[in-house]
Each structure stands twice: as structure tokens, then as C-alpha cells.
Amino acid sequence: MPTYTGAITAFRNVQAEMVGVRQEADGIDLDALDETCQRLRREGRRVKFLYVVPNFQNPTGLLIGREKRRRLLDWSATRDVLLVEDDPYREIYFEDSATEADVRPIKAEDEDGRVVYLSSFSKTIAPGYRVAWMAAPPPLAVKFEMAKQAEDLLTGSFDQRVIYEACRRGILERQLPMLRRYYQEKRDAMEAALKDALGDLVTWPAPKGGFFLWTTMPAQLDAEAMIPRAVEHGVVYVAGEAFFVNAPQTNTLRLSFSAPSAERIREGVARLASTIRAELDSLSVRAEGPSRAAR
């Protein structure tokens, strides 16, 4: 399954061995997860934890269903595997397709200390304020605190004070409904543009929140190889290959609707459509080349 490339990089930096698990429309495939866990243990490998982004995952935008969250927590108890729940997008749900109950953290039901919960203010207040938090079992929290102090001593006091005042004065609470409408309108603009310009060529799961739209192109296209042509057309994206730890799907790419205006989104999608169609035409010409020469 694709997952957050920042997490992949962090785990690789400490020489962690990672194994991907496929996902379904409502999140991680639990049968595949259990099969993978059992296979690794039969091979004598230790499964230390499962990393999961339950709400509007980066890059796919998928939301893990309520029942699947409960089953995932039960699975962690049965197989004795720690869950690391990374949840920075929880508050950015779109009110036409998700509710507060849909995005309830897995950690909220954790009675046995099996979940380490991570979240951040960077998506709701400002990305420049690098203030996040963690909820973890006390023995782990002590170790994490020591590790953080060794890494960067402390988070900036000024940033923490700004965040504190934003919460204390209700600024964040008042801002959230506006943010949800703001990003929902951008998602709508991107989906409408894609349907108009590329509806016959690409597919994507409709995101119910977050910032991203995960696009699958025709199988013969390679998103990484197509980047130079995209740059020529004045558009950029993140090739899907970056989000896999194994068996990458090279015909995928991640689009973001968080920063550009609706007008820029429509222009960007039009340029992406030109890129994809030009790439398909180029591949077609190359495929027909030898037969044309023979004639």
C-alpha cells in the first residue's frame, strides 16, 4: 500500500525494514495484514509495529471505516503488535461526506496501551509552526521524551505559546469550519476539472477530507518518467512510486489541492491532461514505428 513518504524516509534513516500491506476502499486490508504478519513471524522476523494514517491518508486520501478501526485495534491485541497512528488530517474532514464520528481516533478506544498517537497543528493553524503532540503508554512516552531532547533539545517556546493562545482563545475551534469549507471547495474544483479533462483516462478515490487526490493513469504510463514532459507543460506532481516501500505502482501520482486557487487548479489539471495525452501519443508512435518502417 502507498503511505506517507516522510514516514518512509524517517524509518529508512534508522535502517528499519519495512513491508507494505495492500489497502481497500475503506483502508488497510485486514486479511492481507494478518497474512503478512504471520508470514513474517514464520520467517523469524519481528513485527515491531504497524504504521497507519487512518484519516485522509497522505497520499491516497482514504478514510479507514469505523468498523475496520475497531477490528484493527482488536487485531493489534490478538497479534500483540503496537499501532502507530499518525493523524495530522483528522480535523480537515469535508462535511458533505464525513462526520466527527467517522474520524474518531483509534487511540480513543485504546484501553490497553497498544496505540501511539501522533498529531500536529501544522495542517490547522499554520505549517510554519512545527508543533505536534503524542499520546503514548507511559513507559514509551518517557523514552520518546528522552529521544526528543537528545535530537533537538525542545520545541520553540514562541511557537508553543502561539499554539496555546490559539487554543485557549478558541481561535482554532472557530477556524475549523471555515477550513473544512475552504478545502472542500478546492477538492470539488479538482475533481470537476479531472472529470472534464481526463475522465476517460484516469481514476481516483474521492477524498472525504485532507489535501490530496491519488490518481491512477493508464498502465503503460510511468509517472516518474513523465515528469520532464510535465515540466515542459508547466505542471508538477509527486510520482506515486515515492509512496511505496515495495512493489510500486508506477502509473500513479499524487495531486494536492491545498495551496492553489480553484482557477490555478483548473489550469494545472488542463496542463496535466495535455501532458498525459502527449505521453500516450508518444508511446503510440514508438509502438507503431517498426511496423510503419516495414511498410
Tell me, what amino acid is at 161? R
Give, in order, the Cα–Cα distances in Å from 1 to each of 31, 51, 57, 70, 118: 14, 11, 11, 20, 20
- Provide the pLDDT for residue 291: 55
For the chain, what is the largest distance between any 2 Cα atoms, rounded to a whole number of angstroms? 77
Phi, psi (deg, nearest 5) at residue 11: -70, -40
Please compute the mean of the pLDDT values over residues 83-99 and round it to a whole number.
96
Q: Grade residue 68 by pLDDT with cuts at 50, 70 and 90.
A: very high
What is the rounded CA–CA span in Å between residue 51 and residue 167? 28
Question: Is the pLDDT score of 292 beyond 60?
Answer: no
Q: Grade residue 191 by pLDDT with cuts at 50, 70 and 90.
A: very high
- Provide the pLDDT for residue 290: 59
Distance of CA 276 to the CA centre of its chain: 23
Q: Grade residue 293 by pLDDT with cuts at 50, 70 and 90.
A: very low
157-161, 278-282, 290-294: lowest mean pLDDT where? 290-294
Give the dihedral sign, CA 288/293/294/295.
Answer: positive
The reported pTM is 0.92
- Provide the pLDDT for residue 285: 82
Nearest alpha carbon to residue 206 among 181, 187, 186, 219: 187
Question: Is the pLDDT score of 287 beyond 80?
Answer: no
Beta bridge partners of 115: 83
What is the rounded CA–CA span in Å between residue 236 and residue 172? 32
Domains of the chain: 5-172 (3.40.640.10), 179-294 (3.90.1150.10)
